[in-house]
C-alpha cells in the first residue's frame, strides 16, 4: 500500500454558529486520484478550505505526509506542496493571463523557477500562451479554468485539489478538463477532485467519498460506488 499523502480525520467546522462539517474523514495516497462527491451545500468546498488552511476547523486533524497541518498557515501549506484550484476559478479578471499565472508562483521555491514553470504551463495549455497578454476576464469559461489550473501548477504542487473544475462548462470542455486531470496525474501529481459530475469523476478517480450534510456517507473504489444502488438512484438518476 502507498503512503498516505493527505489524511483528514474527524474534521468538524462551523461558520459562526452554524456547523457544516460533522466529522469528515478521508485519505489520499501518494499517486492517487481521489474524488470527493456530493450535492450542492454538502460541505465539499468547506473541506478543501480546511485542508488548504483558509478556514480553521473546530475539531479533527489534517495530516500531510504524516505531519499535522493544524498550526501551519495557508501560505506554508502551499510551500509544502498543497494547491487549490478554487470553485469558480477566482482569477483576477483585469490582470493578464500571464500575470495571473505568475501570481501562482508565490512560494519562495516556486518563484525561483517561475520562468521554467510558466513554459511548462504554456506547453500544457497552448491556448494560454496564445492569450497570455489578454485580460483573464476576457477568456472563455474553459480557458479560465485552464488559467486557474495553470496558476495552481505554478506553485509546483504535490497535491492538487480541484473544486468543481467542470462546473458550467459545455460538454466538450468538460471532457477536456477531465483529460487535463489525467495528464497531470500522469505527470506525478496526486489529485483530490471535488465534483458534482459523479459519472465523470468516478471514471477518472480510483476511489471516492460521498459527502452529505457534512459527513461522509459512503466511500469505496470507483467501481463499487458506480455500482451502488443508493448512488445510482440519488446521484445518477438511474
Ligand X SMILES: Nc1ncnc2c1ncn2[C@@H]1O[C@H](COP(=O)(O)OP(=O)(O)O)[C@@H](O)[C@H]1O
Residue 164 φ/ψ, nearest 5 degrees: 50, 60
Closest distance to Mg ion from the beta carbon of 87 (Å): 5
Q: Which of 82, 97, 17, 96 is nearest to 51 (CA)?
A: 82
Nearer to ligand X, 11 or 105 (CB): 11
Q: Work out what residue 113 binds among Mg ion, ligand X, none; the CB cut-off runs from 5 to 8 Å by kind.
A: none
List residues bridging with 37 in a β-sheet: 195, 210
Cβ closest to ligand X, residue 19 vs residue 75: 19
Q: Which of residues 118 and 211 has its CB atom nearest to ligand X in the complex?
A: 211
Check residue 20 for interaction with ligand X (CB under 6 A): yes
Q: In terms of residues, how long is the chain?
A: 238
> Which CB sits closer to ligand X, 19 or 140?
19
Using CB under 6 A as the binding criterion, the count of chain residues that bind ligand X stands at: 11
| Residue 40 near which of Mg ion, ligand X, none (CB within 5-8 Å, type-dependent) | ligand X
Spatial contact of 199 and 12, defined as CB atoms under 8 Å apart? no
- Cβ distance 74 to 51 under 8 Å? no
| Closest residue by beta carbon to Mg ion | 45
Cβ distance 92 to 129 under 8 Å? Answer: no
Pick one of Mg ion, ligand X, none as the site partner of residue 53 (Cβ within 5 to 8 A by kind): none
DSSP strand pairing (207-212 vs 33-37): parallel
Partner that binds at residue 67, options Mg ion, ligand X, none, CB closer than 5 to 8 Å by kind: none
Between CA 187 and CA 77 the distance in angstroms is: 21
Contact partner at residue 46 from Mg ion, ligand X, none, CB < 5 to 8 Å by partner kind: ligand X
Please spell the DSSP secondary structure of 165-213, one letter per residue: TTTT--HHHHHHHHHHHHHHHHTT-EEEEEES-HHHHHHH-SEEEEEET
Binding ligand X (rule: CB under 6 A), the pick from 42, 97, 159, 231 is 42
Give min distance, CB of 13 to Mg ion, in A: 14
CA separation for the pair 18, 107 (Å, rounded): 33
The site partner of 185 among ligand X, Mg ion, none (C-beta below 5 to 8 Å per kind) is: none
Pick 6 or 13: Cβ nearer ligand X: 13
Dihedrals phi, psi of 170, to nearest 5 degrees: -65, 150
Residues that bind Mg ion (CB under 5 A): 44-45, 87
Beta 4-15 vs 67-68: how paired, if at all?
unpaired
Site for ligand X, rule CB under 6 A: 15, 18, 20, 38, 40-46
Amino acid at each position: 500500500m502507498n503512503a498516505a499523502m493527505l489524511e483528514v480525520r474527524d474534521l468538524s467546522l462551523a461558520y459562526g454558529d452554524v456547523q457544516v462539517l460533522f466529522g469528515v474523514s478521508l485519505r489520499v495516497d501518494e499517486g492517487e486520484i481521489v474524488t470527493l462527491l456530493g450535492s450542492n451545500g454538502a460541505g465539499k468546498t468547506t473541506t478543501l478550505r480546511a485542508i488548504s488552511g483558509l478556514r480553521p476547523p473546530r475539531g479533527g486533524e489534517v495530516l500531510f505526509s504524516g505531519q499535522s497541518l493544524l498550526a501551519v498557515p495557508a501560505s506554508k501549506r502551499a510551500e509544502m506542496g498543497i494547491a487549490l484550484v478554487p470553485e469558480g476559478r477566482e482569477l483576477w479578471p483585469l490582470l493578464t493571463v500571464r500575470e495571473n499565472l505568475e501570481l501562482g508562483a508565490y512560494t519562495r521555491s516556486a518563484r525561483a523557477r517561475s520562468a521554467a514553470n510558466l513554459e511548462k504551463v504554456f506547453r500544457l495549455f497552448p491556448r494560454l500562451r496564445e492569450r497570455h497578454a489578454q485580460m483573464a476576464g476576457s477568456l472563455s469559461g474553459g480557458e479560465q479554468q485552464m488559467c486557474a489550473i495553470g496558476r495552481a501548477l505554478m506553485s509546483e504542487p504535490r497535491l492538487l485539489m480541484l473544486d468543481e473544475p467542470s462546473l458550467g462548462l459545455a460538454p466538450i470542455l468538460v471532457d477536456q478538463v477531465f483529460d487535463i486531470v489525467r495528464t497531470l496525474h500522469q505527470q506525478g501529481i496526486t489529485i483530490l477532485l471535488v465534483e458534482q459530475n459523479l459519472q465523470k469523476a468516478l471514471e477518472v478517480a480510483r476511489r471516492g467519498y460521498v459527502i452529505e450534510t457534512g459527513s461522509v456517507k459512503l466511500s469505496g473504489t470507483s467501481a463499487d460506488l458506480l455500482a451502488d444502488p443508493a448512488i445510482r438512484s440519488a446521484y445518477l438518476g438511474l
